[in-house]
Structure 1
Amino acid sequence: MIKLDNNNHSVFALYYHLILTTMYRREVIDETIAKELENHFIRIAKNYHIKLQEFNFEADHVHILFKAHPNSELSKFLNAYKSASSRLVKKEHPEIKDKLWKEMFWSKTFCLLTTGGVTIDTIKKYIEKQGEA
C-alpha cells in the first residue's frame, strides 16, 4: 500500500522514475561517481520538496525513484540537478574529460515516468464506473 502524503489542502502520492544518460552514452559511472551523484541528488532535492526513494546505476545511465509534492517544480529541479552534478563530478574526476570532453556530463534528453499503486487500466475502469448504482 502506498503511503499518502498531505499538506494543508491536499492528499497526494507523487512518485516518479527518472532515467538520465551520460552524454554520448559514455561509460563513465562507477561506484564512486554513482554515490556522488546520489548525494548531489539528495542535497539538491531538499530545495524542491523532493525525496529520494531509490537510486541505482549502470556505466552509462542512472535510474532514480523519487517522491515529490504538488508544488515541486520538476523542470527546475532537473535542470539544477543536471547542471550541478555535471559540474561537480567533472571537477572531482578530471579523468572523465578523456571520454566527455565537452562541459556536459548528462545528455540533454531524459526519461521521466510517473508511477502509481495501480495500473492505468484499473484507474480507467474506476472512473468509467463512477455514477453507476
Structure 2
Amino acid sequence: MELDSNNHSVFSLHYHLILVVKYRRKVISDEISNRLKEIFEYIQCNYNITLQEWNHDKDHVHVLMKAHP
C-alpha cells in the first residue's frame, strides 16, 4: 500500500462515491458519462483529488478517488 504524507501526517484516503440520478431514471449515456468525467478531471486539482476509476450505468456513476485531508 502506498501512503501519502504532508508535514504532520501520513495517510491513505480512498473514497468510493456513487452518484445516483433522482428517481433512478435511466438517463446516463456514454456521452453524458464522458462529459461528467471531463468535468471531474478538470476540478480534481482544486480539491487535491486523484481519479482512480470511473464506471457508469444508466442510472448511476461509480467514482473511486484518492484524496488528501
User: TM above 0.5, one fold?
Assistant: yes
Structure 2 segments unaligned to the other structure (5+ residues): none
Indicate the percent of aligned positions where both proteins have the same amino acid.
57
Deviation at 1:45, TM superposition (A): 1.8
TM-score (normalised: structure 2): 0.93
| CA distance in 1: counterparts of 2:18 and 2:41, whole angstroms | 16
Structure of greater Rg: 1
Q: List runs of 5+ in structure 1 lacking aligned partners.
A: 71-133
How many positions carry a matched residue from both structures? 69
Q: Which protein, 1 or 2, shows the higher relative CO under an 8 Å CA cutoff with sep ≥ 6?
A: 2
Structure 1 moving runs of 4+ over 3 Å: none
Q: Which residue of 2 aligns with 1:61?
A: 60
CA drift of 1:9 comes to 1.4
Partner deviation per Cα, 1:44-91 (whole Å, 9 max, x = no partner)? 121111111000000000000001111xxxxxxxxxxxxxxxxxxxxx
1:14 aligns with 2:8: no
Q: Which residue of 2 aligns with 1:120?
A: none
Greater helix share, structure number: 1
Task: Supply the distance in 1 between the matched residues of 2:2 and 2:34 (Cα, whole angstroms).
Answer: 27
Distance 1:46 1:27 in 2: 30
Q: Point out the structure with the larger strand share.
A: 2
The RMSD of aligned alpha carbons is 0.8
TM-score (norm 1): 0.50
1:38 counterpart SS class: helix
